[in-house]
Structure 1
Amino acid sequence: MDTIVLLGTAKMDITPAFPAELQPAHPLRPDAATETVRRLYARVAVFQRKSERGQSHYAVVISADIIYFVDQRIDSLRKQLYERWGIPGEAILLQGTHTHSAPYPGSRFGETFDGPYRPFIELLETAVLQGVELAMANLEPVDAERGSGSCGFATYRRKRENGNIVMAPSDEGPTDPEVTVIRFRKRDGHTKCAFVHYACHPTTTYGNAFSSEFPGVATEQVEAALGNDAVALYLQGCCGDIRPAVVRDGRFYAGSNLEVTRFGCELAAAALEVLSTGMEPLRFVPFEFRCTRVRLPFQSQPTSAELEAHKDKADAWGAWSRILLEHPERNVPFELLRIGYIRLADGLAFLAMNGEAVAEYGLYTKRVFAGKVLPMGYCNGHTTYIPTAAQLKEGGFESYTAFYSSGRPSPYDPSIEQAIKEAILELVEKL
């Protein structure tokens, strides 16, 4: 018997009507943003399957134009969704598109420090809950299909110069140009929803204004082309070391809305080309949800004496020391990477990581599972960059600087790559 799945969707505006500081901080953003260049949205897709006994089973995918959902807000949102509709936490995927032109949805140091971010937290979470409610009200049967194309504006951002790794465009590392599109059609043939999966940092611009960046341009163009109130969700892949090729004289520069629009149009064109060709039908199956945690050990932990020796310095080491002295709970031997697995159809599953995984992890996932599992970063919370073993030995922003600037004890141990890949295999292939 074919599995019948119903889908409900919603698109909620989360653009602040109040000044808000954009994150991460940047010298081009000295003040709180008040201008809106491109509106921010939270897009919601709720899937419902009924068992032979009539029991409802749900899966929820939420893509929001934020940098990511912070750890301390995930449990609260999942609890509210469970209490209201009985949706288990592992069936809920909360992802930020990772635009760097949105307010921070909470403090990276935990709930105690959420005070300055409260207005946007309340706006975002109210929109998410209302979006799920609206989606529940328009559930209807759908069929699914998938296809893939290519988009080429993303570039590797780690370049070796004079023995060091600098953030500059490079042809030496991997990128993932594949654009995967999932279409959900209503019984009348019209598209109800589309997923557009791609891997690239939305860091085209550092203008001091709210912007959904190129994912927003792409999804809005796809929605306009599909018509009939179709909702398009951008699903961010593993892009920790990939960014748009806003390049001049061999270096990245901060682009404007002109470049944002250009890249968004390129991605939309690639997605629409896939939608216009013959796509492969997908067969829904009983939903599957699994999750695991991987221990990511740090290379070392500083002693209190070491931190005290640096704390009065005006450089990066001083800032690092002060963070760890003020937040001793961060000086730990390891962190946990959370990986979730959600399977909706034969040929459609999501591997959702809460870290900022580099491209190699996404390419590995696609390779070993023949493209049937879509790798996603920035899901259900956030740790930090997840580099490869080779990158941790090379140094550079993603595998050295970012750890100290975010107040970690040290970079991760290179053993994490093997541990993560083994965990991915075990999680997906687990019977």
Structure 2
Amino acid sequence: MKFGVAKDLITPDLLTHMGGYGSFFDNCFQGIHDDLYVRTLLLDDGVNRMLMISLDLLFHDYALTETVKDYAREKFAIDPDYVFLSYSHTHGGPAVRGYDDSSQHSEPYEAFLLQRICSSINRAMVNLFEGTIEHGAIEGDWNINRRRMVGGKIENKPNPDGEKDDGLHLLRIRNRVGDTKAILVHYACHPVTVRDTMYISGDFPARVCHLLEAELFGSTAIFFQGAGGNARPKITAKGSEFATCTYGDMNELSLSIAQRIKDALHACHVFSPLALQLEARQFQIPIEIEPFSKAHIERIALDDKCFPGTRRIASKVLEQYERLPDEALLPAGLVRLAEGRYMAWMGGEPCYEVKKKLEAALGVGRLIFVGYMDSTAYIPDDSIIAEGGYEASESALEYGLKGGFKPGIDRRIAEAFMRQLRSFE
């Protein structure tokens, strides 16, 4: 088995609008707290090669993935089904194409970003080494459900009794002499510790990677976000509300996660070796939309209590209402890493219930579930749609959709993944 790993700086070198919360208010960043990176991991089982790329960004539309797939195919003859991009979902990155208002992203930054991604792929391809890969899974109580029923309505508030994913998956890659060269970290939690603070930052996922790389000299740590759509850092829960934390608070959270990972790396019983047998499929899942009325969208477009960015997007949706589709095409992927060990990939912001139901439907044990392949929208399950709230439909306009998703999403997702799983046999 061969591997390759690389990372490149993607911190903006020009002033840009902030993504996430900052985009709501048309704010540019005020400075750089910590740098952003693209990290690339190459897996080669001798038959197939796969690229897994993670970016310290909120997310991007799927066009970027398609461009990178074309590059990897043309330069290195890597099958597009074996090229995966996802985003840590830090809210401390620049505005990019996709989620944020189209007037906010920077074309020079988009060109810079693509160049750095391609550079990272190039260096991973020349940084090849023979080695081994191991999988480990631990648990940690660092997140909290953010959907709480208040007066018969779901609100964005801490819910200590709500479901959340405590699992943290690790893939450790070592060279032939046993040195750790890459450590893949997978956890499910919104990176919003400092929320709307207007400084560039990779938030806790990036800080965890920094800490692990400092411990494991010569290694690259890579974070992949899970089904964190309805989970926030537990440290941000202050009584019945969520609060903006400090960078010191973020560091404390990151130190706790990194220490737990370090302990696992030294515990022989946590990891088991994988004999790579790579097989990958990428596909789209059509998800039906329940359109809002034009009157509802117009109220939001004219409501001066709404964020300026949201009002602008609502106005554009209203202008294009008749031409907008009544379904969204959700990008997804399924990867067999080794016999009985799978990774599922999904666009948008999947909630934990989506991952939990898919894991049960596939029946493949503890599934490594990566979200945020693109900026489709929040991906709820049928139970969340029935409850309502931000993840169910209230956020749909922010993504340029004309409505929330219809019930039946559980069946559509399960059937799509099951078809791919059967094709592996």
Structure 1 residue 285, shift from structure 2 partner: 3.5
Residue pair 2:96, 2:105 contacting (<8 A) in 1 also:
no
Structure 1 residue 80, shift from structure 2 partner: 1.4
Answering whether residue 367 of structure 2 is matched by residue 376 of structure 1, we say no
Answering whether residue 166 of structure 2 is matched by residue 170 of structure 1, we say no
**Aligned-partner residue type, residue 51 of structure 2:** V
Q: Which moved more, 1:316-325 or 1:214-223?
A: 316-325
% identity of equivalent residues = 24
- Once the two structures are superposed, residues 16-42 of structure 1 have per-residue CA deviations (whole angstroms, 9 ceiling, x without a partner) of 122121112349966311411111111
Residue pair 1:28, 1:207 contacting (<8 A) in 2 also:
no
Whole-Å separation in 1 of the counterparts to 2:12 and 2:314: 34
Residue pair 2:228, 2:349 contacting (<8 A) in 1 also:
yes
Match of 1:143 in 2: 132
Residue pair 2:36, 2:202 contacting (<8 A) in 1 also:
yes
Whole-Å separation in 1 of the counterparts to 2:314 and 2:54: 35
Whole-Å separation in 1 of the counterparts to 2:387 and 2:258: 35
- Once the two structures are superposed, residues 388-416 of structure 1 have per-residue CA deviations (whole angstroms, 9 ceiling, x without a partner) of 11211211111121013433221111111
| Mapping 1:118-133, distance limit 5 Å | 118-133=107-122
Residue pair 1:10, 1:135 contacting (<8 A) in 2 also:
yes
Match of 1:54 in 2: none
Whole-Å separation in 2 of the counterparts to 1:219 and 1:107: 26
Residue pair 1:106, 1:118 contacting (<8 A) in 2 also:
no
Residue pair 2:143, 2:231 contacting (<8 A) in 1 also:
yes
Counterpart of 1:103 (choices 69, 94, 102) is: 94
1:408–1:69 Cα change, 3 Å: closer
Whole-Å separation in 1 of the counterparts to 2:298 and 2:211: 53
Match of 2:79 in 1: 88
Whole-Å separation in 1 of the counterparts to 2:19 and 2:89: 10
Match of 2:36 in 1: 40
SS at 1:159 equivalent: strand
| Mapping 1:192-271, distance limit 5 Å | 192-205=181-194, 206-227=196-217, 229-245=218-234, 246-271=236-261
The TM-score, its normalising length taken from structure 1, stands at 0.90
Answering whether residue 178 of structure 2 is matched by residue 189 of structure 1, we say yes
| Mapping 1:297-336, distance limit 5 Å | 297-300=288-291, 302=293, 312=302, 314=304, 321-328=314-321, 331-336=324-329
Match of 1:411 in 2: 404
**Aligned-partner residue type, residue 239 of structure 2:** D
Match of 1:75 in 2: 66
Match of 1:8 in 2: 4
**Aligned-partner residue type, residue 177 of structure 2:** D
Structure 2's unaligned 5+ residue stretches are none
Residue pair 1:353, 1:377 contacting (<8 A) in 2 also:
yes
Residue pair 2:184, 2:221 contacting (<8 A) in 1 also:
yes
Counterpart of 2:27 (choices 28, 31, 44) is: 31
Structure 1's unaligned 5+ residue stretches are 52-56
1:256–1:415 Cα change, 3 Å: same
SS at 2:172 equivalent: strand
| Mapping 1:343-362, distance limit 5 Å | 343-362=336-355
Whole-Å separation in 2 of the counterparts to 1:313 and 1:60: 44
Whole-Å separation in 1 of the counterparts to 2:345 and 2:300: 37
